[in-house]
């Protein structure tokens, strides 16, 4: 699904580098700032109609990993998020594994080793996904992947 011309970049997050404290959760024993990072994407396929962003930790100690941020119905005209940006309709942030919407920073269990935080932007073949704000994150992922025509990922690392 990767497309070499479709790229995701960030000033805050560098691929396979430690996640900055600004993007770490403030809660559950973690003392980060819980600020969503800047993200910019370019080079999507011509047939792209919208975007979706999924942020997932596959190393969380549960069968489905941990969903940190799910953003859907990103218009074709929007190709970046500013650091800490408040997102407005038609963009929808669906519920995460923190049982709320919006960005939830990294906070793996203490002593659990390095966790990988995959920030993945998907180019979609539809303008809008018919998903409600409280749809289960694993179902959101399934629907996004059904419509994904290209994707690009930055992986950040974090442990405590």
Angle at the Cα of 133 (from 130 to 139), degrees rounded to 5? Answer: 65
Q: How many Cβ atoms from other residues are within 10 Å of residue 11's Cβ?
A: 11
7-49 tens-digit pLDDT: 999 999 999 999 999 999 999 999 999 999 999 999 999 999 9
List CB contacts of 150: < 8 A, sequence separation 6 or more. Answer: 1, 2, 3, 6, 44, 45, 48, 122, 123
CATH number (domain holding residue 99): 3.90.280.10
Is there a contact between 60 and 67 (Cβ–Cβ < 8 Å)?
no
pLDDT at 1 over 60: no
**Number of domains the chain is built from:** 1
**Does residue 22 lie in a domain region?**
yes
Q: Is 1 inside a domain boundary?
A: no
Question: What is the rounded CA–CA span in Å between residue 46 and residue 41?
Answer: 14
The predicted pLDDT at position 4 comes to: 63
- Among residues 33, 38, 65, which one has the least CA distance to residue 121? 38
Residue 35 belongs to some domain of the structure: yes
| Residue 2, domain member (yes or no) | no
Please check whether residue 61 lies inside any domain of the structure.
yes
- Residue 53 is assigned to a structural domain of this protein: yes
In a domain, residue 56? The reply is yes
Tokens 């998020």 locate to 81
What is the domain range of residue 73?
7-152
Say if 26 falls within a structural domain. Answer: yes
Q: For 126-147, how does the pLDDT look when each residue is reduced to its tens digit (9 = 90+)? A: 999 999 999 999 999 999 999 9
């Amino acid at each position: 699904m990767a497309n070499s011309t479709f790229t995701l970049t960030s000033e805050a997050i560098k691929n396979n580098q430690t996640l900055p404290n600004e993007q770490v959760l403030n809660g559950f024993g973690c003392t980060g700032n819980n600020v969503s990072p800047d993200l910019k994407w370019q080079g999507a396929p011509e047939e792209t109609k919208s975007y979706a962003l999924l942020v997932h930790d596959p190393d969380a100690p549960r069968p489905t990993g941990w969903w940190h941020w799910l953003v859907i119905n990103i218009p074709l005209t929007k190709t970046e998020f500013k650091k800490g940006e408040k997102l407005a309709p038609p963009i929808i942030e669906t519920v995460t594994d923190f049982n709320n919407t919006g960005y939830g920073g990294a906070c793996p269990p203490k002593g659990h080793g390095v966790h990988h935080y995959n920030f993945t932007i998907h180019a979609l073949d539809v303008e809008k996904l018919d998903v409600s704000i409280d749809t289960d994150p694993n179902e959101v992922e399934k629907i996004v992947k059904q419509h994904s025509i290209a994707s690009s990922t930055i992986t950040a690392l974090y442990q405590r």
